[in-house]
Amino acid sequence: MNFSPAGDPAKVAIITGAAQGIGRRTSELLAEAGFGLALIDRQSCAHVAPSADREELQGDLTDEMFLARCVDAVQQRWGRADVLVNNAGISLIAPAETVDASAFRRVLEVNLVAPFLLAKGFGALMLRQGEGSIINIASIAGLTGIADRSAYNASKHGLIGLTRTLAAEWGGHGVRVNAVCPGWVKTEMDHVDQASAAYVDADIIERVPMGRFASPDDIAHAVLFLAEPRQSGFINGHTLTVDGGWTADGSWQSLRLMHR
């Protein structure tokens, strides 16, 4: 499937955290669907969809000047923005009573303030076009409390609130804003979190009704669905959980495992 039939202007997707994990797989799928790509990350994205019509924007999302440069670069190269995937995020696993203000603020800057500023910058282009789709990668940690993740969970709850608010403000101008809420996904983030002895694979696998981690591909397909107006053109302000049933399941552990 190619999103842009011959003769149509190229459609452009901007993806943050594109160098690895969910962002990388999402970028690859969007490239296959025919989007031009603006790949934003503090790491190099040289290995991501190398044959696509693409631009790499390397820098830190907490740098407001860098964010403004990203919007300018897309405007100059393509003159439009069709999809923004606010995917980059950082985790912080620590008991709340040990988290200091600067660590808490850093998580909010990356996971919430940067998505807001990018939505504002690229949203202005979308509002002028009268169409666009913004997809915020939140988490099931944005829907429920999980111990030892005060800053992360607050940022993801905030991102869902931002999603709903922008959907209300911009839906009337053809700009849809939705969130995807993954459960635990096998990526570098999971690897780093497990290395800090926060949990092991079995903790997650036993908790998920479908008995496995999500893959980056599971999440990327949900993003592609929300990106594509022919698939999701009247979906706005929604939080799409991709968690194998985690948040739906109120069973106790032995009952859940009895149904495997």
Q: Min. distance of Cβ 5 from ligand NAD in angstroms? A: 31
Of 2 and 247, nearer to ligand NAD (C-beta) is: 247
Of 183 and 229, nearer to ligand NAD (C-beta) is: 183
Size of site (CB under 6 A) for ligand NAD: 26
**Strand 54-58 versus strand 175-182 pairing type:** unpaired
Q: Which residue of 70, 92, 125, 137 would you call a contact of ligand NAD, by CB under 6 A? A: 137
Q: Which residue of 12, 15, 23, 177 would you call a contact of ligand NAD, by CB under 6 A? A: 23
Q: Min. distance of Cβ 82 from ligand NAD in angstroms? A: 21
Q: Which residue of 20, 75, 129, 194 would you call a contact of ligand NAD, by CB under 6 A? A: 20
The reply to whether 184 sits near ligand NAD by the rule CB under 6 A is: yes
Of 60 and 72, nearer to ligand NAD (C-beta) is: 60
The reply to whether 27 sits near ligand NAD by the rule CB under 6 A is: no
The conformational region for residue 39 under phi > 0 = left, psi -120 to 50 = alpha, else beta, is: beta
Q: Cα separation of 110 and 67, whole Å?
A: 12
Q: Min. distance of Cβ 191 from ligand NAD in angstroms? A: 8
The reply to whether 41 sits near ligand NAD by the rule CB under 6 A is: yes
152 is catalytic: yes
Q: Which of residues 191-220 bind ligand NAD (CB under 6 A)?
A: none
The reply to whether 61 sits near ligand NAD by the rule CB under 6 A is: yes
Indicate which residue of 152, 184, 213, 246 is catalytic. Answer: 152
Q: What angle do CA 44, 49, 52 make, to 5 degrees?
A: 115
**What is the CB-side half-sphere exposure of residue 63 using CA atoms within 13 A?**
11
The reply to whether 244 sits near ligand NAD by the rule CB under 6 A is: no
Q: Min. distance of Cβ 42 from ligand NAD in angstroms? A: 4
Q: Which of residues 86-115 bind ligand NAD (CB under 6 A)?
A: 87-90, 110
Contacts 24+ apart (CB under 8 A), 46-50: 47/19, 48/18, 48/19, 48/24
**In the complex, which residues of this chain contact ligand NAD (CB under 6 A)?**
17, 19-23, 41-43, 60-62, 87-90, 110, 137, 139, 182, 184-185, 187-190
Please give the positions annotated as active site. Answer: 152
